[in-house]
Amino acid sequence: MADTNTRPLALPAHHPALQCDPQLLLRAQDVRVAFFDVDGVLTDGGLLFSEGGETLKRFNTLDGHGLKLLQRAGITPAVITGRDSAPLRVRLKALGVEHAVFGTEDKQPAAEQILARLGLAWHQAAAMGDDWPDLPVMRRSAFACAPANAHVEVRHAAHLVTHARGGDGAARELCDLLLAATGRYAGLLEPYTA
């Protein structure tokens, strides 16, 4: 016969495991918008084509959740990409990303338009890219990030090079650091560990 008076065991307190360099946190503390490239950052950079010529992309759910968390913390995720595709637009809509510029290699003016719409300046921006077209935005932003497999020049311009490769959770690493820099990381994590 089962004992009906037993209580469930209390879970031990959870303490965030994320560790960030304090200098990086300080550099990122004023960030209110984060610019992301797509191919090589939110995807692995590979391009798959269907028989009908449609471009297929693989997105990582870790990155997607990170973009949603940024929004909850008051940081606007924005996408500036040299390509345009229906799958990309569907994915960004599902994530609630409202600021996106498609089909441009000249990314600095696109970023400046988004900054103007948001009433923000470069010192409030972070940027993540993997190749030369991303450098103008990364070099002007307060915080620059590159995935592990980015081009050498882009890694050299980055304040943070992620452990993960593009499309494999690299964007989530930047999101987590930005959340920690705002002081919101532990609070956003808490409901999942209660």
The pLDDT tens digits of the residues spanning 84-96 come to 988 899 999 999 9
Q: What is the gyration radius of the CA atoms in the chain, in angstroms?
A: 19
pLDDT of residue 95: 96
Which is more confidently placed, 1 or 108?
Answer: 108
In the chain, the N- to C-terminal Cα span, in Å, equals 30
CA 178 to the chain's CA centroid: 9
pLDDT of residue 48: 63
Which is more confidently placed, 66 or 9?
Answer: 66
Which is more confidently placed, 47 or 85?
Answer: 85
Strand (E) positions, the chain? 33-36, 48-49, 55-56, 76-80, 99-101, 125-128, 143-146, 160-161
pLDDT of residue 3: 58
Q: Is the pLDDT of residue 128 over 70?
A: yes
Contact 128, 41 (CB under 8 A): yes
Contact 129, 146 (CB under 8 A): yes
What average pLDDT is seen over the chain? Answer: 92
pLDDT of residue 2: 57
Here the tokens at position 61 are 């759910």
Q: Which helix (H) or strand (E) holds 49?
A: strand 48-49
pLDDT of residue 57: 74
pLDDT of residue 119: 98
Contact 152, 61 (CB under 8 A): no
DSSP state of 122: G
Residue 163 Rama label (left phi>0; alpha psi -120 to 50; beta): alpha
Q: How far is CA 93 from CA 64, 67, 155, 158, 171, in A?
A: 11, 12, 29, 28, 17
Q: Is the pLDDT of residue 18 over 70?
A: yes
What average pLDDT score do residues 115-121 get?
A: 98
